[in-house]
Amino acid sequence: MVNQDFMGDEQLRQLALNVQNAPPQSAERQRNLNYLVNNILHSGKLGHPHTGKYPQGIYQDLYNEALQKTLLKICTKIDQYNPVHPVMAWVNFVLSKTFIDVEKDVQRRGITYLPQALKNDMTILSLDDLNSPVSDLHPSTEVEKLRQFLKEDPEGRLQEEHLQNHTDITFQKIALAKYVDDLTWDSLSEQFKIPLPTLHSFFNRRLQKLMPYFHKYL
Amino acid sequence: MSTPSLTFTVPLSWEAHSLAQHYRTQQTTVPKAKQAYLNSLAVYAGDFYLRCLGYFPDPSASDSRNSINLHFLDVADLVVPSLGKLECRPVLPEMDVLEIPSEVRDDRIAYLAIQFTQSLKQAEILGFTSKSLAQIPLSSLRSLESFPDYLSALRQSIAADQLTPFHPASMVELSQWLEGVASAGWQALDTLLPGHSLVAVRSQAGQQESPCNPPQPFSNQVQKAKLIDLGLQLGDRTIMLVLTLAPSSNQTVSALVQAYPVHDPHLPAQLQLKMLAESGEVLQEVWSRGQDNFIQLKQFSGQRGDRFRLQIVLDEICITENFVF
């Protein structure tokens, strides 16, 4: 089954039945769910509730949110699909209900009629946004606290942990070089003359072990 | 030319982006902030994909969801309980390789390549790999077509490793039942649930017949039941496992295994009942669809000394019982 084909109603129905008939949690069911989602998205029959109601930008985001939630509902409740109806009728039914829920939720958060979201939690950044130097990135107090914590090591535990056979290469040293000096792992590996896998095995595991210590002071 | 690779598309809106923003604003430099944002979106997309397939990933247990980790490590892992960590790597629009940073080349069950559009409003899971190399060409990725099988095989091999060895203490000796000796936890139905009647019997064709109790054992049969607790989160999820034994000729004993709900009229949906060989190989399995009053395995038989395991599986709960004929 090629996922780029646009399926007719009957084929889509059969695909949904294939999902239902495969054992739950079986690889077969999961594969067919993937096909089902793809074919729903490419069906050309997805509804667009309330198109005229919103400016284009806001509508796209509302729609995406509703579509995403709808797809998950379709997948997790596929056993409730009644083959008497075309699959897309069911999907669009769920989509229009979900769209209303998303609308209500978004209205509650107050962004609907604003051209640009002002609150952080309703911002959608693009790659261009991520690439440009933005002023909203400033070292918060949390970040400063981390820097100080690494340097001061109140209970001395960051200094205690060191690489086997290298008492001078402590967790603290690595953490400072990584975080404060912003060195890459490759350059740290070169600098300390320790192979990357060894460095990571040590650092990654100690970090998890020391996490309660981090949380205590940060 | 082979069929195009199976991919999976995830629309990304406020829920995805507000979460990504949370992780982004903890970083101090533009490159790290960008990485944190993209990694968060990628983990979100991976989590969504797995949940659509019926898995229950645990993002909160993942390193990628702990900001402190993100200060040091370019990590985008997603914990899948009972399986391990799946790394969800972001791929930018013009890239043709998947980059795997050194900090995540160990301790991962697989890597998903997740490509974003310029607007970041859509993610496409292009495929997966199990190779932990620094760079993997996108053309070398395995299609998502094989991902469910890959995870399934992984789950089976993990389960096989974790199966308790068959020692006497963990095994139920069915020969003893036939001699009238009880096993811990296993009792006659009446003793286990006095006065409780189990609802309708399902006929071969799947139609519901009039309600009646499970077939009474014949005089030479032995029937015992055990209550199995599937965990409390979903409310009462106690089921009853019923084993009916009948000695037949030439020293074989036949066994019928059934699972019944206890407090609900139906079994929970997607409850699986499996029979495994000692090796862990699945010999047969059956599952409930949510409207079932009980499920049962096909009758099987064994001779004295033959061993098998039964597993009851619901979501991530997997209860194993070991038996010897």
* Contact yes or no for A130 and B33 at CB 8 A: yes
The residue among A108, A129, A150 that closes a domain is A129
B70 belongs to a structural domain: yes
Domain-embedded: residue B128: yes
Please check whether residue B2 lies inside any domain of the structure.
no
Least confident of A159-163, A192-196, B36-40, B265-269: B265-269
User: Same domain for A40 and A102?
Assistant: yes
Enumerate the residues of chain B whose CB falls inside 8 A of the CB of residue A26.
148, 152
Q: Tokens representing A47? A: 């509804």
CATH number of the domain enclosing B114: 3.40.210
Looking at the fold, whether A104 and A23 belong to one and the same domain comes out as yes
Average pLDDT over residues B304-308: 88
**Is residue B147 in a domain?**
yes
Which among B25, B48, B105 is the nearest to A68, CB-wise?
Answer: B48
**DSSP of B201-256:** -B-TTS-B----PSPPPPTT-EEEEEEEE--STTS--EEEEEEEEEE-STTEEEEE
Specify whether A119 is located in the same domain as A169: no
Measure A80 CA to nearest chain B CA, in Å. 10
Residue A136 lies in a domain: no
B29-57 pLDDT, tens digit each: 889 999 999 999 999 999 999 999 999 99
Q: Do A23 and B272 touch (CB under 8 A)?
A: yes
Q: Is residue B267 part of a domain?
A: yes
What is the span of the domain harbouring residue B283? Answer: 163-324
Among residues A72, A97, A129, the one where a domain terminates is: A129
Mark whether A187 and A84 lie in a shared domain.
no
A58: in domain? yes
Q: Which residue of A has its CA nearest to B4?
A: A2
Q: Which residues of A touch B120 (CB under 8 A)?
A: 124-127, 130
**A122 shares a domain with A29:** yes
Q: Are A35 and A22 in contact (CB under 8 A)?
A: no
**Partners of residue B145 in chain A, C-beta under 8 Å:** 31, 34
Choice between A113 and B281, residue whose per-residue pLDDT is larger: B281
Contacts of A171 (CB under 8 A, 6+ apart): A158, A159, A160, A161, A162, A202, A203, A206, A207, A210
Give B83-92 pLDDT, tens digit per residue: 999 999 999 9
More confident residue, B208 or A195: A195
Query: Of B122, B140, B161, which closes a domain?
Result: B161
Given this model, what pLDDT does residue B219 score? 66
Domain shared by B206 and B111, yes or no: no
Q: Do B285 and A23 touch (CB under 8 A)?
A: yes
Is A111 inside any structural domain? yes
Q: Does residue A198 lie within any of the structural domains? A: yes
Could you say which of A67, A75, A214 has the minimum Cβ distance to residue B11? A67
Q: Are residues A66 and A162 in the same domain?
A: no
Whole-model pTM: value is 0.70
Kindly determine whether residue B7 and residue A65, on different chains, have CB atoms separated by under 8 Å.
Answer: no
N-terminal to C-terminal alpha carbon distance within chain B: 53
Pairing of strands B84-91, B110-116: parallel
With beta carbons under 8 A apart, name residues in chain A contacting B11: 63-65, 67-68, 71
Cβ neighbours of residue A180 closer than 8 Å, sequence gap 6 or more: A147, A150, A151
- Residue ranges of B 207-246 with Cβ closer than 8 A to chain A: none
Most confident of A193-197, B71-75, B80-84: B71-75
- In this prediction, residues B285-290 reach a mean pLDDT of 84
Domains held by chain A: number: 2
**Tell me: the pLDDT tens digits for A11-68?**
999 999 999 999 988 999 999 999 999 999 999 999 999 888 888 888 999 999 999 9
Q: What's residue B199's pLDDT?
A: 41
Are A70 and A101 part of one and the same domain?
A: yes
B175 lies in the same domain as B284: yes
* One domain for residues A109 and A197: no
Is residue B90, in this structure, part of any structural domain at all?
A: yes
**Could you tell me if B149 lies within 8 Å of chain A, comparing CB atoms?**
yes
Residue B135: pLDDT band (50, 70, 90) is: very high
Residues A149 and A200 in one domain: yes
**Pair (A17, A115) in one structural domain:** yes
Tokens of A154: 């109140």
> Is residue B72's pLDDT more than 50?
yes
Shortest CB distance from A72 goes to which of B30, B33, B48? B48
Domain boundary among B136, B161, B186: B161
In this structure, is residue A68 part of a structural domain? yes
Contact list, A28 vs chain B (CB under 8 Å): 148
Both A32 and A111 in one domain: the answer is yes
Q: Is there a contact between A142 and B26 if contact means CB atoms under 8 Å apart?
A: yes
Question: pLDDT per residue over A140-188, tens digit each?
Answer: 677 788 999 999 999 999 999 998 888 899 999 999 999 989 899 999 9
More confident residue, A191 or B319: A191
Range of A194's domain? 141-217
Contact B103 A200 (CB under 8 A): yes
Does one domain contain both B151 and B167?
no
Answer whether B26 sits within 8 Å of A3, measured CB to CB.
no
Instruction: Quote the pLDDT of residue B163.
Output: 62
A97 with A15, same domain: the answer is yes
* Chain B CB contacts of A34 below 8 Å: 6, 8, 52-53, 144-145, 148
In total, chain B counts a number of residues equal to 325
Q: Comparing A6-15, A155-164, B222-231, which segment has the lowest mean pLDDT?
A: B222-231
Task: Give a yes or no: residue B3 inside a domain.
Answer: no
More confident residue, B270 or B125: B125
The minimal CB distance from B119 to the residues A23, A126, A137 is found for A126
Separation in Å, CA of B28 to nearest CA in chain A: 6
What share of chain A in percent tops pLDDT 70?
88
Closest residue on chain A to B71 (Cα): A179
Whether residue B168 sits in one domain with residue B139: no
d(CA A76, CA A171): 44
What pLDDT does B129 receive? 95
Instruction: Tell me which residue in B29, B71, B120 faces A125 most closely, judged by beta carbons.
Output: B120
pLDDT for the residue B34:
95
Q: Smallest Cα–Cα separation from A147: which of B71, B36, B31, B21?
A: B71
Same domain? B183 vs B107: no
Average pLDDT, chain A: 87
Is residue B1, in this structure, part of any structural domain at all?
no
Which of A101, A129, A157 terminates a domain? The answer is A129
Task: Count A/B contacts: CB-CB distance under 8 Å.
Answer: 186
B216 and B119 within one domain? no
Q: How would you classify the pairing of strands B122-129 and B8-11?
A: antiparallel
Q: Tell me if chain A has a CB within 8 Å of the CB of B54.
A: yes
pLDDT at site B36 = 96
Residues forming beta bridges with residue B284, ordered by sequence position: B275
Task: Please state which of the ranges A129-138, A190-199, B53-62, B312-321 shows the lowest mean pLDDT.
Answer: A129-138
Contact B93 A134 (CB under 8 A): no
Picking from B126, B143, B161, the residue at the C-terminal end of a domain is B161
Please give the ipTM for the structure prediction. Answer: 0.91
Q: Which helix (H) or strand (E) holds B260?
A: strand B252-261
Co-location of B43 and B111 in the same domain: yes
With cut-offs at 50, 70 and 90, classify the pLDDT of residue B265: confident
* Number of domains chain B is built from: 2
